[in-house]
């Protein structure tokens, strides 16, 4: 099933794990699906080095956001300069996404995890932008101080910091 085009679509470069990554992400996010899969042909093997029939791209969608996974080879790796934020309304959601996205990867500070494919995610409360940007800068500073002391974010602790 083709995924409708959007004006801007992130393209995630993998060595050979694009299809596995797309299936992994779709298994984590409820409103998700795999779209078209394209394969390398005989043309260009001297450039891309892939066998005819190997997966080239996988279209997938997570919660309405469309992505393209490209199996482009080992030349490029993900780093923290790009991450995806997952906004969560409850601590249960934070716990779920934190666990699923960090599985086989690593946990970082301030709500960041790196998944088993090396992609960085920020698992954060939906209310955090409002808390950090409050007109009362003292509230935002207290929340930031609390965030900086955490790995997985704790909504109740952040709400207490916000309240003072």
pLDDT tens, residue by residue, 68-126: 999 999 999 999 999 999 999 999 999 999 999 999 999 999 999 999 999 999 999 99
pTM: 0.92
- Contact in structure between 69 and 14 (CB atoms under 8 Å): yes
Q: Could you give the C-alpha distances from 47 to 11, 18, 43, 158, in angstroms and in order?
A: 20, 19, 9, 51
Contacts of 152 (CB under 8 A, 6+ apart): 94, 95, 98, 107, 111, 123
All structural domains of the chain, each given as residue ranges with its CATH number in brackets, are 11-71 (3.30.720.100), 83-163 (3.10.180.10)
Q: Is the pLDDT of residue 132 over 80?
A: yes
pLDDT tens, residue by residue, 38-52: 999 999 888 888 899
């Amino acid at each position: 099933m083709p995924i409708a085009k959007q004006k801007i679509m992130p393209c995630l470069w993998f060595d050979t794990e694009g299809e596995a990554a797309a299936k992994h992400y779709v298994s984590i996010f409820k409103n998700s699906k795999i779209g078209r899969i394209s394969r390398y042909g005989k043309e260009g093997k001297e450039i891309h080095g892939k066998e005819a029939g190997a997966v080239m791209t996988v279209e997938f969608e997570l919660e309405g956001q469309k992505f393209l996974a490209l199996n482009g080879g080992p030349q490029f790796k993900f780093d923290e300069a790009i991450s995806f934020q997952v906004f969560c309304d409850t601590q249960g959601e934070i716990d779920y996404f934190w666990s699923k996205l960090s599985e086989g990867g690593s946990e970082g500070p301030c709500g960041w995890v790196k998944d088993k494919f090396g992609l960085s995610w920020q698992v954060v409360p939906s209310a955090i932008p409002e808390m950090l940007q409050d007109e009362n800068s003292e509230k935002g500073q207290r929340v930031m101080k609390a965030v900086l002391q955490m790995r997985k974010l704790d909504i109740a602790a952040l709400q207490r910091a916000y309240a003072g």
